[in-house]
Amino acid sequence: MKSSHYPKLFTKGKIGNVVIKNRIVRNSMGTYLGNPNGTVTDRQIKAYAEAADGGAGLIFMDNATPVPMKSCGLRADKDEFIAGLSLLADALKEHGAVPAMQLAHPGRDAGFVGSADVIGASPITYEPWYQAGAKLPRALSVDEIHDLVHKFGDAALRCKRAGFEVLEIHGAAGCIPTNFLSPHDNQRTDMYGGSLENRMRLLLEIIRDVKQKCGPDFPVGVKLSTDDWEPDGIRLSETIKVCQALEREGVSHLNLMGGTHATASMEMLKPNAFNAGDTQKIKEAVHIPVFAGHNVFTPEIAEQLLEENAGDFVALGRAFLADPAWAKKAQRNQAQDINPCINCLIGCMDRGLLANTPIHCTVNPTLYKYESNPYEPASVSKNIAVIGAGPAGCEAALVAASRGHQVTLYERRSFGGAMVEAAAPESKANIRRLTTYYEEHVTRSKNIKLEKKTATYADLVNQGYQAVIVAVGGAERKLDVPGINQDKVISAMDYLGGRQDVSGDDIVVIGGGVTGAETALELKAAGKQVTIVEMMDEFLASPAQSSLVYKIAIKQAQVKVLTGLRLQEVTTKGVKLVDRFGNITTLSATAVVTAAGFVPQTSLADKLEEQTDMDVYNIGDSERVRQIYDAVHEGFVVARQL
């Protein structure tokens, strides 16, 4: 079945001698649904079947380790794991996809997945991780390197025997080959260090061992970082030479990304398909299939990459978490129905990989939830009011309507709630697609009536509602200090929302949370001199990936950050700040932008609960200020309970 909208995306291709039904690759991004001992679970098999049903031609899911490792991933270090692996390969084949397996050893990053033995080329790791407590890797001896090479080959043969038809060696993102390829991480003086030829030796020996054991015609590719974004690390010029050497060794394909596990979170501030230029340069230097990817979220972008010859296949990861049926919907020309990844890294990283739990998704509360039908028809249809068309309210309205309830959605402003301001920076533009998705689906639903007004208490008690879901979001925290009402003081939300501009060139941002950081970066990009003032002793103290990313971005943008200071007064010339000891600091400023956070809004829900017999639910930031993940998931859960 061809697609008139995406003809190149749905053209057959080949990896080695294996025919792929389209040009869509589901990248390895572990489910972590397996057992801690590396064995396969029923839920894992269902996840693989669901992925194949989604329409991608070539599917990688969890990667497998060639050595024992406790990570709730997969293992291929012993023959006893072949049986479980075969169940996964069969699930993919039986549901229409080519089964592929990625072999990976996390190298210097092994401590993050529970390994006591952290190994690398040299005892060097990413400096910020070391400062955060990461264990230094132990340098492998030459004999240990030879042993590891053979273990990769043995594991590859087990994957082939299990029924996987394409194999990939993970040589990117900080995995063990990356530690050797990096001129920063590899300080060896033997035959595995120094020149590029020596630094790529480990990866080439792995490929030779795999090819020798699996046969010359078995497709074996490599995943590589075009640039690892680390100081003195891997750069494109050397990656091209590595790719050419791999082609000479007979690899079947090259799967390309940017960054490492330590730096790849910077992708959340990068434009969509940012790696296409590097991918295209590698494609021009080799004659084997190249996978383009990284921040590819829509079929339009995927088709464009193929049109522009940036790759032979397009590899997606997080997009398939947001919507496992991404490929099937694209083929049916139903791109508007694809639940969009917003590139937030909250569910997949903060509450998945880094939390040692199965992977989650901010916009897809149903991901890998197979206990029951999430949209099971309600036994009794109810008349429900939802207050607020932000992510919590929209998700609740859509799920409730899909279950047969009659929903009235109140929104006086516009769809998206605080997502409107959150999506103002161009780096957050993917959030706009979620707002559009919600608006289109709410408008299309026959069970949802939209009221473009503020819902009053009288409206809610006089319309015969049996349940009310309050999702009005949080309110900006107001600062009560002398001078705060001057015209030079505006809120970050008004600035990001385009309702007020900032005058002058010397700006002070009060508040060092994510909103303050985003506002500061936008002001800096507009040519302003910006200082962030944070009352806590640490700027962006949260362990979330977004905090690390914004810390790096703020440093790179040369935005000044002052911590441990509280706003005491806005003066005609600037601001007066005070520390915990009473010491005063003054700063000049032509404008002051307040980003002091948000507070929940519970009054409406409290009044309804106290004075009516309706079922009342307060969800999202109006109940407690958190993240978009919480808003979407709470909207889903509440609607499932009605």
Q: Does the structure show a pLDDT above 90 at 69?
A: no
Query: What is the reported pLDDT for 521?
Result: 97
Note whether 591 and 622 are same-domain residues: no
Same domain? For 273 and 420 the reply is: no
The stretch 35-41 carries a mean pLDDT of 93
**Which residues are CB-contacts of 340 (< 8 A; sequence separation ≥ 6)?**
297, 298, 322, 323, 363, 430, 433, 434, 437
How much is the pLDDT for 114? Answer: 63
Residues 25 and 147 in one domain: yes
593 and 612 within one domain: no
Kindly state whether residues 281 and 166 are assigned to the same domain. yes
One-letter amino acid identity for 461?
A: V
Give burial (CB, 10 Å; 0-12/13-18/19+) of 232.
exposed
140: closest CA among 120, 116, 115? 120
Q: Do 45 and 141 belong to one domain?
A: yes
Strands, E, within 27-83: which ranges?
58-59, 64-65, 74-75
458 and 519 co-located in one domain: no
Domain count, the chain: 3
Q: What is the pLDDT of residues 462-492, one digit of tens each?
A: 999 999 999 999 999 999 999 999 999 999 9
Query: 253 by DSSP, 3-state: which?
Result: coil
Encoding tokens for residue 194? 């120094």
pLDDT in tens, 517-556: 999 999 999 999 999 999 999 999 888 888 889 999 999 9
pLDDT above 70 (res 157) = yes
**Contact assessment for residue 276 and residue 306, using Cβ atoms and an 8 Å cutoff:** no
Query: What are the residues whose beta carbons fall under 8 Å from the beta carbon of 581, sequence distance 6 or more?
Result: none
Q: Is residue 559 part of a domain?
A: yes
Place of tokens 């040519």: 527
Helix axes 236-248 and 276-285, enclosed angle (nearest 10): 40
Q: Element (H or E) spanning 52, and its range?
A: helix 42-53
Closest among 363, 397, 377 to 470, alpha carbons compared: 397
Structural domain containing residue 426 = 383-474+600-641
pTM: 0.95
- What mean pLDDT, rounded, does the chain reach? 95
Rounded alpha-carbon distances, angstroms, from residue 407 to 183, 384, 635: 59, 5, 13
Helices marked H in 137-187? 142-162, 176-181
- CB neighbourhood size of 114 (10 A): 12
Q: What is the mean pLDDT of residues 155-178?
A: 97
Closest CA to 469 of 366, 615, 606: 615
What is the C-alpha separation between 70 and 90, in angstroms, rounded?
24
CATH number for the domain that contains residue 156: 3.20.20.70
For residues 37 and 120, state if they share a domain: yes
Q: Domain containing 499 — which CATH number?
A: 3.50.50.60
What would the mean pLDDT of 379-388 be, rounded to a whole number?
A: 97
CB 228 within 8 A of CB 260: yes
Instruction: State yes or no: pLDDT of 70 exceeds 80.
Output: no
Does residue 556 fall inside a structural domain?
Answer: yes
| Whether residue 586 sits in one domain with residue 621 | no
Helices and strands: H and E segment counts in the chain = 21, 29
Kindly write down the DSSP assignment for every residue of 289-323, as one continuous string: -EEEESS--SHHHHHHHHHTTS-SEEEESHHHHH-
Tens of pLDDT, residue by residue over 396-425, are: 999 999 999 999 999 999 999 999 999 999
pLDDT in tens, 315-347: 999 999 999 999 999 999 999 999 999 999 999
Whether residue 264 is predicted with pLDDT greater than 90 in this model: the reply is no
Please report which confidence band the pLDDT of residue 44 belongs to, taking 50, 70 and 90 as the band edges.
very high
Q: Quick one: pLDDT band at residue 71, thresholds 50, 70, 90?
A: confident
Residues 115 and 40 in one domain: yes
How deeply is 170 buried, as exposed, middle or buried, from its count of CB atoms within 10 A (0-12, 13-18, 19+)? buried
Taking CA atoms, 177 is separated from 103, 119, 180, 184, 294, in Å, by 12, 11, 5, 13, 20
Helix extents (H) in 481-623: 492-496, 514-525, 545-556, 603-611
Q: What is the pLDDT of residue 117?
A: 85
Contact between residue 274 and residue 267 where contact means Cβ atoms under 8 Å apart: yes
Which one is predicted more confidently, 18 or 353? Answer: 18
314: in domain = yes
Note the pLDDT tens digit of each residue in 126-144: 887 787 778 899 999 999 9
Ramachandran bin of 250, using left for φ above 0, alpha for ψ from -120 to 50, beta for the remaining angles: left
Residues 498 and 449 in one domain: no
- Tell me, yes or no, whether 480 lies in a domain: no
Q: How confident is the model at residue 1 (pLDDT cuts 50, 70, 90)?
A: low
Say if 135 falls within a structural domain: yes
**Token pair for residue 298?**
């829509």
In a domain, 482, yes or no: no
**Residue that is written with structure tokens 């690759």 in the block:** 25
> 390: helix, coil or strand?
coil
User: Which of 116 and 114 is assigned the larger pLDDT?
Assistant: 116
pLDDT tens for residues 562-576? 999 999 999 999 999
> CB-based contacts of 313: which residues, under 8 Å, 6+ apart?
13, 15, 20, 23, 24, 25, 58, 253, 289, 290, 291, 292
CB 458 within 8 A of CB 611: no
Would you call 450 helix, strand, or coil by DSSP? strand
- Please state the φ and ψ torsions of residue 280, each to the nearest 5 degrees: -65, -40
pLDDT tens digit sequence for 429-468: 999 999 999 999 999 999 999 999 999 999 999 999 999 9
Residue 529: the pLDDT is 97
Q: Kindly report, residue by residue over 506-515, the tens digit of the pLDDT.
A: 999 999 999 9
Residue among 473, 472, 467, 410 nearest 639 (CA): 467
CA distance linking residue 449 with residue 456, whole number of Å: 16
How do strand 18-20 and strand 24-26 relate by DSSP bridges? unpaired
- Considering the domain architecture, whether residues 450 and 325 belong to the same structural domain is answered as no
Residue finishing a domain among 305, 340, 375: 340
Domain-embedded: residue 361: no
Does residue 369 belong to any structural domain of this protein? no
Q: What is the pLDDT of residues 291-311, one digit of tens each?
A: 999 999 999 999 999 999 999
